[in-house]
Amino acid sequence: MKKSFCRVLLSFMFFLLIPLLSGNASTDSKSSGISPLEALEKLKKGNQRFVSEKRLYPNQDLKTRKNTSDKGQFPFASVLGCADSRAPVEHIFDAGVGEIFTIRVAGNVSDTDEIGTMEYGIGHLNTPVLVVLGHTKCGAVTAVVRGDKVHGSIPELVDNIIPAVERAKKKSGSAFSNKLVDDAIRENVWQSIEDLLKRSEEARHLVSGKKLLIVGALYHIENGEVEWLGEHKEQVSFLAHVNSGDHGSHSYKSLLISNGVLLSIFLLSFIFFIGKNRLIKGMQVKGRMFTSFFVLIASLGIAMAWEINKNTGHGAHADKGDLILSVSVSLLMAITFAYIYMNSIIGSFKRVIGALKSTAATAADLKK
C-alpha cells in the first residue's frame, strides 16, 4: 500500500511539471538572448554612431562570416524598411553580418509576403524587437499622395499605402504639400504596424507575452538620423480586438488544458486502482485494468494530436523544438504509465494465479 502511495505522489509531481516544461519549450528556443529594450538600445546606439560618423563596422570580418555560416543566425532585431537605395538598414544602424533580419520593400508595406517574412524573424529567429522604418522623401508614398498613374504590378503594391494617405489628407487637407507627404509617410509606418498586428496571430501573441516590442521609426535621409516614434498608440486595442475573435490557439493555454485533462484522467484511474487493491479480486480486475490502460494511452494520443494540430493549424508554423519536446514528454508519460500499470497488472496476474493454485489445491484436497 505504501509503495503505491509513493508512486501516486511521484506521478503527481511529474505531471505538475509537464505544463511548465512544455510552456517553456514553445517560447524560448534559440535567440540573440537580449531583451526587447536592450535590442532597441543597441539600434539607437548604432544609429548615433552612424550619424556622428563614428561607425565601428562591427561583425563584418571573415571570422563572423564563418561563424554565422557554421552556427546559424541569431539576429537581435527585425526591421521592415523601404527598398529606397538611400535607406540601407545595416548602414543606418551600424550593424554587421547576422545582426539584423531585414525586410525591404517599396513603401515599407505589410502585405502577405512581408508579414510572412516578419513572422519568420520574430517567431522563428526570435528577434526581441521589430522596427517598421519609414523614411523622408519616400517615393512610393509620394506617388500615392500625388495620385500618380502606376503601371505593371505596382498598383497592388501601393494599395497598402492608400489608407495612410487618406488619414493624412483628413488631417492636413488634400492639397499636395510637403507637410502632407510627411504626414502620409508617418501614417504609413502606423499602417504597416496595424496591418501586421491585425493579420498576424503570431505577432499579437509575442507582443502580448512581452517577448516582442514593435516600434515605428522614421529615417531622415538628409542627415542619417532615425526618429523613434514608439509603439502604435492603438496597439492594445489591436491585440484585444483580434485576439477575442481568433481560434484561441495560444499554445500555452491549450497545453494547460490538454495536460489538465490528462492529469484528471490519470488521477481518477489511480483512485480506481487504490480502491481495487482492497475491494476487487480475480479476473474482473485484470479486465478493468486493461481498459483503463488503453483509455489512458488513447487520451495521450488525443493530447498529442491536439498539440500538433495547434502547432500547424491556421497559419502558425510548427515549432520544431516544441514538437520534439511534446513528443518526448508524451513518450515519457507513456513509459511511466506502462511502468505503473504493468506492475499492477503483474501483481493482479500473480493474485489470479495464486487464487487458481489455491483452488486447485483445495480441489486436490477434496479429492483425497
Q: How far is the CB of 160 from Zn ion (least distance, A)?
A: 13
| Distance separating the N- and C-terminal Cα atoms of the chain | 38
Nearer to Zn ion, 118 or 304 (CB): 118
Nearer to Zn ion, 39 or 140 (CB): 140
The residues of the shown chain that bind Zn ion, judged by CB under 5 A, are: 82, 84, 138
Q: How far is the CB of 107 from Zn ion (least distance, A)?
A: 6
Closest CA to 321 of 301, 332, 307, 305: 307
Closest CA to 11 of 285, 202, 296: 296
Nearer to Zn ion, 162 or 240 (CB): 162
Cα distance between residue 137 and residue 140, in whole Å: 9
Tell me the three-class secondary structure of 245-271, residue by residue. Answer: HCCCCCHHHHHHHHHHHHHHHHHHHHH
Nearer to Zn ion, 219 or 293 (CB): 219
Q: How far is the CB of 82 from Zn ion (least distance, A)?
A: 3
Q: How far is the CB of 58 from Zn ion (least distance, A)?
A: 26
Cα distance between residue 265 and residue 292, in whole Å: 10
Q: How far is the CB of 175 from Zn ion (least distance, A)?
A: 22
What values do phi and psi take at 139, rounded to 5? -65, -40
- For every residue of 16-62, DSSP letters joined together read HHHHHHHHHHHH-SS-----HHHHHHHHHHHHHHHHTT-----S-SH
Q: How far is the CB of 187 from Zn ion (least distance, A)?
A: 14
What values do phi and psi take at 340, rounded to 5? -65, -50
Nearer to Zn ion, 189 or 214 (CB): 189
Nearer to Zn ion, 152 or 245 (CB): 152
